[in-house]
């Protein structure tokens, strides 16, 4: 069994939402890359990252922070949140992300889901 520590990014910080409520935020670290390093130092090899800003807006907003996490650690990183285009998947893939998690877009846009699976099948996971 793999245990993946998670970092949810909102407004540039590592947070958790209480029951998914954007009005109920707990900040765990002002620097998600620092939090990722702490997880790595504790023995993690994988990291799950959710771009909460992107999940809300439908457009990834924290790719630069994810890129910083990838530069500062050796973690394998999976990312979800607001990923609704092949261009976004490509940018994440080129940044070094090991896995891209698709959620709403798998149901809301079957044509996108089919194209994504055809092109990136070894890199995708379904967030259900």
Q: Report pLDDT digits (tens) over 91-116.
A: 999 999 999 999 989 999 999 999 99
Mean pLDDT value across residues 24-46: 97
Q: Report pLDDT digits (tens) over 56-73.
A: 998 889 999 999 999 999
Any idea what the CATH number is for the domain that residue 21 is in?
A: 3.20.20.70
Q: How many domains does the chain have?
A: 1
pLDDT value at residue 1: 73
Which residues form the domain of 16? Answer: 6-126
Alpha helices in 21-82 (DSSP H): 32-41, 52-57, 63-72
Enumerate helices (H) and strands (E) in the chain, giving the number of each. Answer: 6, 7
Is the pLDDT score of 128 beyond 90?
Answer: no
CA distance 51 to 62: 6
pLDDT value at residue 37: 98
pLDDT value at residue 2: 76
With respect to residue 1, please indicate whether it lies within any of the assigned structural domains: no
């Amino acid at each position: 069994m793999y245990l993946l520590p998670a970092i949810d990014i909102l407004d540039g910080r590592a947070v958790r939402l209480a029951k998914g409520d954007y009005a109920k935020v707990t900040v765990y670290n002002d620097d998600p890359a620092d939090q990722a390093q702490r997880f790595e130092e504790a023995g993690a090899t994988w990291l799950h990252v959710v771009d909460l800003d992107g999940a809300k807006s439908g457009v990834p907003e924290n790719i630069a922070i994810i890129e910083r996490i990838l530069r500062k650690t050796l973690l394998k990183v999976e990312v979800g949140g607001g990923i609704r285009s092949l261009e976004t998947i490509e940018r994440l893939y080129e940044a070094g992300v090991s896995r891209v998690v698709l959620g709403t877009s798998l149901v809301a846009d079957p044509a996108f889901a089919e194209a994504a699976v055809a092109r990136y099948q070894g890199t995708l996971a379904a967030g259900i």
